[in-house]
Chain A
C-alpha cells in the first residue's frame, strides 16, 4: 500500500534509530548499578558488573568458535546462573538461545536438538546423561552424517561433583573454563535488524510434535518493559526464580530484571528446606520482591517462626480451588497436620526430616497454606488431600502475605490452566523418578544441607529483628543466632544437620554449613548500613499512608501478574 503522507521526509540515522534488543539493558545495568547483586545462587553471588563481564566472555568464547548469526545454542539446565547468562551472552554473539525443558525425555530432547540444529549444547552436570543419551539417539539415526555439537557442562558447587567429573572425562568442556577463553570486554553488537531472532522455545507437544517458537529481539525488548510496568516491578526488584527459565525464557523476566537492575535469586530445585530466615526474608520482601510462584506454593509452620518449606507441586492432581475458600477453611486437626508433615518430608532433600523437628504437635498451620497440590501421598493420605471441604480452623496463624502468597491469587492460578492438565502423564513419571531417587542419594542429602541455609535475598530490618527475637528451645538454634551477630566469622554457627549419616559424618557437614552461614552473615552485615534511611536528597522512609498505598498497589500488581501468568503459561 502507498506510504502515508508526512509533514517531513527526515530519515533514520545512527543517532536516532537503534534496533530494539534487551541486550541494551545489561549494558545499562552494569553502568548504572555495577555493584548491585544481579544473580545469586547458593553461595555464588554476582554483581551486574560481574554478569556483564561474564556474558561478554560467553559471547566472545562462542564467537571464537564461529558460533554467531544463524547459530543456535541449546541450554539444558535448571534455574542456575549460567542459564541467566545465556539469555544475554548467546544473543550478544548473534546466536539464538534455545532453553530446553529439563523434564523431557531423551527422545524428545533429541528431536529438539536436531530440529533446532543446535551447534552448542550447554548442559547442567545433573542432566549430562540426558544430553548424552539425546545426542546418541541423533547420531544413531543419522549414522555418520551427524556433526556433534560443542558440549559444555555447567558445574554447580551445590551438587555432587561426581556427575561433573564424569562429564569432563567424556570430553565435555567445563563452563567456567569456557568463559575463561572469552574476552570480558568483548565488543558485542546489537542486531542490525530488531526482527532478528533472539530465542527459540518448543511447545510441550501435548497434541502433536513439539513446535519451535521463534522470538524476535524487538518483542523481547518490549515484553520486558511491559511485564515490569504491568506487574509494578520497580528498579531494584528482587525476583525469586521458581518459574523455570526454560518456560518462554522465564516469561521475559530474565531480560526485565536487567532493565530494572534487579536481583535474581536462583533456585535449582523447587524443593528446599529452609530456616526461619528464609520465611522472614520472603515476608519482609513483600514490597519489593517478586516471585513467579506459578508452580510453587509456600508452606510455613510457625513454631516460633523457625522453619519453612518451599516447594513446587508440578501439576495439580485435583481441581484447583479458589484462594478464598482455602483461606476460609484451613485444616487444623492433629492427624491431618501430622499426615501432611510426613508427606512433605518425603520430598525434602536428605529424606528424613523427622529427626530434625521431632515435636510435630508443636507445629501450627499458617492460614491457607495447608494446600498441597499434585504431591504423591503415602498410603492413607489420599483421602485427606482429596477432601474439598475442610473443617474450620481451631487456631489460625497469621497468613503469609505478599505477592508470592497463594492466598492472594498469585501466579499459581495457572495450575488450573487447561494446558496443564494434559501434562499429568509425563510429569508423574518425572515426579516418580525424583521421589524414588531422593532418599537413596547421599549427594542429595549434602545438597539439602547446603540448601538449607541458602539466603533468598536479604532480610529487611524488621525481618532481622524478628529473627533475633525468636526463641528456640534448642541450643543449636540459639547458638546460631548469637553467632550470626557476635562472631562475623562464626564457622561454628550453622543450622543442625539432619540425622542419618551418623556421628562421623556430622562434622564435615556442619563445617560446610558454617561456611554458608558466614556468607549469610556477610550479606546481612553489608545490608545493614544501606538500609538506614536518614533525611537524604534521594530517598526517604516510606510514610504509613504511602506504605498502605504501596501495599494496595502490590496486591493489584499480583492479580495482574496472575492473569498474565495464566495467559502466558498456556502459551508457553
Chain B
C-alpha cells in the first residue's frame, strides 16, 4: 500500500520549508481508522466482555471474529468500497458489530432511526442507495413497507433491490423473525456463518474515506445525509474517552441510540479503551438502575428526557443509593438547573456536552472547575448549563455574527451563531451541494444555533435561530422560557414555540407534559395553566410569559429532542391569539 498524501488544507500558500524531506512510508504512516481499536482490544483483552445483551455475552475476541465474519460475508456479496449498508435496529449487538464489520469490508454504515415512518425511511434508503439492509426482527414490517414504497417508484436509484438481513433477538417474540424468514430475508447469524472469522480486512488507503452516514432528524427541514470520515471517527473516539475520563475497562450502558450519530462515537471509543457495552433494546428507568447495580455500569449518555424519567421514577424502580458514582453525559438539549440538582443529589456525576450529527456528536463540554463546587446550587447549575469549551479533537469553536463572521464580544450577552471547525467536522452532506455551501461558509461549520460567549470563554446556546420568538419587536428566547417552565413542580417537560398574536405579532405558546402525579383532568387544566402562567410571571419579563398553555405528550425524535416544527405547525393551526384575551 502506498503512502497517502494529504496536501495542505489551503491550496494557496506556498509549502512550508522543513528541516528534512523524509517521506511517508508503510512503516511510519497509517490511515487513522477506529478499526484498529477492535484489533487491539481483541489482542489486549480477548477474554473481557465486549458486548452484553440479556443472556448474550461476547468477549472482545468474539466480537473481533464476528465483525470479520460480517465483513467477509459482505465482501462475498460484492459489498465494499462505494457501498452503503443500512441498519434498522435498536441497541442490539448487531448494530455495534456493524460499526466495525461494515467498514472492514470497505463499505459505509448507515444506522437508521427506528422511530421514523416507512415513507421517511424509504427516502433515506433510496438517497443512500443502500445495497444491504440489516433490520431487527421487530422492525421488519417497517423495512418491508419502505422497500415497497421504493419499488413502486419508476425512477428508483437502485440497480437491484437491497439484500435484506433480519437480526433475530432471543429476548423477543420469535413470530416476527419467522415471518421475515418466510418472506425470504436472510437471518443475521446465518449470514455471519458465511463469512471467514479471520477475514483479512484492510484499513482505508485514505483516512478521508467515508466510514458512516447518518441523517439529520429533520426537526427543521427534510433529512440531510451526514457523511463522516474515518479520520474523524478515530480522533473523536479518543477525544470522547479522554474528555469524559473514561478509564480502560469502563462499562457503558447504551441508553443513547447507536443510530444517533453512531452513538456519539462511543461505539468506537469502547474498543479503544477495551470497555464493555451493555445493550438495551428499550430504555426504561428500571433497566438503567439495574444496569448500574447488576452490570457494573459506570457511564451512560442521555437526553434530558431520559434523565427526567430517571429522577421522577417511582420508588419501586429505583435503587438508591448508587453503589458507585455514575458518570452521565447529558446532551441534546440544555439540562435545567432543577434536573442537574436532582441528579447530583442521587450520585450521578453529570457532564454536560453539546454536539451535532455533523460534528460526530459531542463537540463541546462544560469543563467542570473545582472552584465551582463551593457555589450554591443555582449558581453551579447556571455555570453547568453552558455548553462550554471545545473537545480535544475539535480545533475551533466560536460565536460569530452570522452576517459578517466577526466574533462577538465575550460578554455573555451578545448573540451570535455558534460555529466550529476541526477534524471532528463531517465531510459534508451527501448529494447536497447547496446545503454544504451554506454549512461551510467562511471556513467554519455553521451550527444554526444561537449563543453567547462568556468572559471565561465558555459558550452557551441561547436558541436555534428558527426558534426565536419575536413579540412586539422584542426577541424572546424560547429556551429561556422553557427553563423556567421546567422548574414548575408539575411540569415534566415543555416546549415553547411562537404562536401568532393579533396584538404582538407573536407570543410564546407552551406545550406541556405533566408529571404523573400532577395529571389533570379537563376541569383542572385551566386552573393549572393559570398557575403555570403566574409561576412564570414571577420569574421572567411579562412579555415572555406564555399566553397559551397546551397539555399533552410532546412529539420527539430519536434522541428525545422535541420536534418543534410539529409544534409550530400545531400552533399555527390554533390560529392567532385574539386581542380580547389580553
* Residues in chain A near residue B345, CB distance under 8 A: 535
Minimum CB–CB distance from A36 to chain B (whole Å) comes to 8
Bound-state Cα–Cα, A190 to B423, Å: 13
Q: Are B423 and A18 in contact (CB under 8 A)?
A: yes
The residue in chain B whose Cβ has the minimal distance to the Cβ of A542 is B325
Q: Mark A520-531, 1 if CB is under 8 A from B, else 0.
A: 000000000111
Is B524 interfacial (CB 8 A cutoff)?
A: no
Q: Given A13-B443, A539-B368, are A31 and B395 also a contact pair (CB < 8 Å)?
A: no
* Residues in chain B near residue A214, CB distance under 8 A: 19-20, 22
A-B contacts, 24 listed (Cβ < 8 Å): A6-B210, A13-B440, A14-B9, A16-B426, A17-B423, A33-B367, A34-B456, A193-B6, A195-B6, A225-B239, A229-B273, A234-B245, A235-B242, A259-B242, A259-B392, A529-B374, A530-B370, A532-B374, A537-B343, A538-B344, A538-B372, A540-B344, A543-B322, A557-B247
Q: Given A3-B205, A556-B248, are A25 and B392 also a contact pair (CB < 8 Å)?
A: yes
Minimum CB–CB distance from A30 to chain B (whole Å) comes to 9
Q: Are B245 and A549 in contact (CB under 8 A)?
A: no
* Residues in chain B near residue A259, CB distance under 8 A: 242, 392
The residue in chain B whose Cβ has the minimal distance to the Cβ of A30 is B457
B-contacting residues of A (Cβ < 8 Å)? 1, 3-8, 10-20, 24-25, 28, 31-34, 69-72, 94, 96, 116-117, 190-197, 200, 214, 219, 222, 225-226, 228-230, 232, 234-235, 259-261, 529-540, 542-543, 545-546, 549-550, 553, 556-557, 560
* Residues in chain A near residue B431, CB distance under 8 A: 8
Taking a contact as CB atoms closer than 8 A, the residue among A234, A235, A529, A546 that contacts B325 in the complex is A546
* Residues in chain B near residue A19, CB distance under 8 A: 9
Minimum CB–CB distance from B444 to chain A (whole Å) comes to 5
8 tightest A-B contacts by CB? A5-B82, A70-B17, A14-B443, A538-B368, A192-B8, A16-B425, A10-B428, A10-B427
Bound-state Cα–Cα, A17 to B423, Å: 5
Is B347 interfacial (CB 8 A cutoff)?
A: yes
Is B387 interfacial (CB 8 A cutoff)?
A: no
Is B369 interfacial (CB 8 A cutoff)?
A: yes
Max chain B C-beta neighbours (<10 A), residue from A19, A116, A235:
A235
Q: Are B368 and A72 in contact (CB under 8 A)?
A: no
Bound-state Cα–Cα, A230 to B81, Å: 32
Q: Given A12-B208, A13-B440, A194-B6, are A28 and B389 also a contact pair (CB < 8 Å)?
A: yes
Q: Are A229 and B227 in contact (CB under 8 A)?
A: no
* Residues in chain B near residue A28, CB distance under 8 A: 389-390, 392
Bound-state Cα–Cα, A396 to B417, Å: 64
Max chain B C-beta neighbours (<10 A), residue from A539, A557, A560:
A539
Is B18 interfacial (CB 8 A cutoff)?
A: yes
Bound-state Cα–Cα, A12 to B10, Å: 10
Q: Given A16-B425, A229-B273, are A537 and B341 also a contact pair (CB < 8 Å)?
A: yes
* Residues in chain A near residue B325, CB distance under 8 A: 540, 542-543, 546
Taking a contact as CB atoms closer than 8 A, the residue among B17, B381, B390 that contacts A69 in the complex is B17
Instruction: Say whether chain B's binding surface is mostly helix, strand, loop, or mixed.
Output: loop
Q: Kindly list 18 other residue pairs between chains A and B, CB separation below 8 angstroms, not including A214-B20, A537-B343, A553-B249.
A: A1-B205, A4-B209, A8-B430, A10-B428, A13-B9, A13-B443, A16-B423, A16-B425, A16-B426, A31-B389, A96-B19, A192-B10, A193-B6, A200-B19, A228-B242, A235-B367, A529-B371, A550-B247
Q: Are B16 and A15 in contact (CB under 8 A)?
A: no
Minimum CB–CB distance from A534 to chain B (whole Å) comes to 6
Taking a contact as CB atoms closer than 8 A, the residue among B13, B24, B245, B421 that contacts A15 in the complex is B421
* Residues in chain A near residue B422, CB distance under 8 A: 16, 18
**A to B contact number (C-beta, < 8 Å):** 227
The residue in chain B whose Cβ has the minimal distance to the Cβ of A230 is B248
Q: Given A69-B17, A196-B18, are A7 and B210 also a contact pair (CB < 8 Å)?
A: yes
Is B126 interfacial (CB 8 A cutoff)?
A: no
Q: Are B373 and A225 in contact (CB under 8 A)?
A: no
Q: Which of B1-32 contact A (CB under 8 A)?
A: 1-2, 6-10, 13, 15-20, 22, 24, 28-29, 32
* Residues in chain B near residue A219, CB distance under 8 A: 28
Bound-state Cα–Cα, A232 to B431, Å: 42
* Residues in chain A near residue B430, CB distance under 8 A: 7-8, 10
Is B233 interfacial (CB 8 A cutoff)?
A: no
Q: Are B457 and A31 in contact (CB under 8 A)?
A: yes
* Residues in chain B near residue A94, CB distance under 8 A: 16
Minimum CB–CB distance from A385 to chain B (whole Å) comes to 38
The residue in chain A whose Cβ has the minimal distance to the Cβ of B392 is A259
Q: Are A537 and B9 in contact (CB under 8 A)?
A: no
Max chain B C-beta neighbours (<10 A), residue from A17, A31, A222:
A17
Q: Are B427 and A538 in contact (CB under 8 A)?
A: no
* Residues in chain B near residue A538, CB distance under 8 A: 344, 349-350, 368-369, 372-373, 380, 384
Q: Are B377 and A537 in contact (CB under 8 A)?
A: yes
Taking a contact as CB atoms closer than 8 A, the residue among B16, B81, B273, B425 that contacts A192 in the complex is B16
Bound-state Cα–Cα, A192 to B16, Å: 7
Minimum CB–CB distance from A190 to chain B (whole Å) comes to 8
Minimum CB–CB distance from A550 to chain B (whole Å) comes to 8
Q: Are B16 and A193 in contact (CB under 8 A)?
A: yes
Q: Are A18 and B9 in contact (CB under 8 A)?
A: yes
* Residues in chain A near residue B384, CB distance under 8 A: 537-538
Is B436 interfacial (CB 8 A cutoff)?
A: yes
Is B501 interfacial (CB 8 A cutoff)?
A: no
Minimum CB–CB distance from B190 to chain A (whole Å) comes to 27
Q: Given A200-B19, A530-B370, A539-B370, are A7 and B84 also a contact pair (CB < 8 Å)?
A: yes
* Residues in chain A near residue B423, CB distance under 8 A: 16-18, 20
Minimum CB–CB distance from B63 to chain A (whole Å) comes to 19
Is B241 interfacial (CB 8 A cutoff)?
A: yes
Q: Are A540 and B340 in contact (CB under 8 A)?
A: no
Q: Are A17 and B9 in contact (CB under 8 A)?
A: yes
Q: Given A193-B8, A532-B373, A537-B350, are A232 and B421 also a contact pair (CB < 8 Å)?
A: no
Bound-state Cα–Cα, A51 to B405, Å: 29
Bound-state Cα–Cα, A159 to B423, Å: 45
Q: Are B9 and A12 in contact (CB under 8 A)?
A: yes
* Residues in chain A near residue B395, CB distance under 8 A: 18, 24, 190
* Residues in chain A near residue B89, CB distance under 8 A: none
Bound-state Cα–Cα, A546 to B292, Å: 13
Q: Mark B412-429, 1 if CB is under 8 A from A, else 0.
A: 000000001111011110
Taking a contact as CB atoms closer than 8 A, the residue among A96, A537, A545 that contacts B323 in the complex is A545
Bound-state Cα–Cα, A535 to B457, Å: 26
The residue in chain B whose Cβ has the minimal distance to the Cβ of A261 is B367
* Residues in chain B near residue A24, CB distance under 8 A: 392, 395
Q: Are A197 and B428 in contact (CB under 8 A)?
A: no
* Residues in chain B near residue A190, CB distance under 8 A: 395
Is B577 interfacial (CB 8 A cutoff)?
A: no
The residue in chain A whose Cβ has the minimal distance to the Cβ of B249 is A553
* Residues in chain A near residue B9, CB distance under 8 A: 12-14, 17-19, 192
Bound-state Cα–Cα, A24 to B347, Å: 34
The residue in chain B whose Cβ has the minimal distance to the Cβ of A530 is B370
* Residues in chain B near residue A17, CB distance under 8 A: 9, 208, 423
Minimum CB–CB distance from A38 to chain B (whole Å) comes to 15
* Residues in chain B near residue A14, CB distance under 8 A: 9-10, 421, 440, 443-444
Is B445 interfacial (CB 8 A cutoff)?
A: yes
Q: Are B245 and A235 in contact (CB under 8 A)?
A: yes
Q: Which of B383-441 contact A (CB under 8 A)?
A: 384, 389-390, 392, 395-396, 420-423, 425-428, 430-431, 436, 439-440
Max chain A C-beta neighbours (<10 A), residue from B128, B344, B369, B395:
B395
* Residues in chain B near residue A25, CB distance under 8 A: 392
Bound-state Cα–Cα, A229 to B439, Å: 33
Taking a contact as CB atoms closer than 8 A, the residue among B2, B248, B340, B344 that contacts A1 in the complex is B2
Bound-state Cα–Cα, A193 to B253, Å: 39
Q: Are A197 and B20 in contact (CB under 8 A)?
A: yes
Minimum CB–CB distance from B21 to chain A (whole Å) comes to 10
Q: Are B19 and A6 in contact (CB under 8 A)?
A: no
Taking a contact as CB atoms closer than 8 A, the residue among A191, A196, A197, A536 that contacts B372 in the complex is A536
Is B204 interfacial (CB 8 A cutoff)?
A: yes
* Residues in chain B near residue A196, CB distance under 8 A: 16, 18
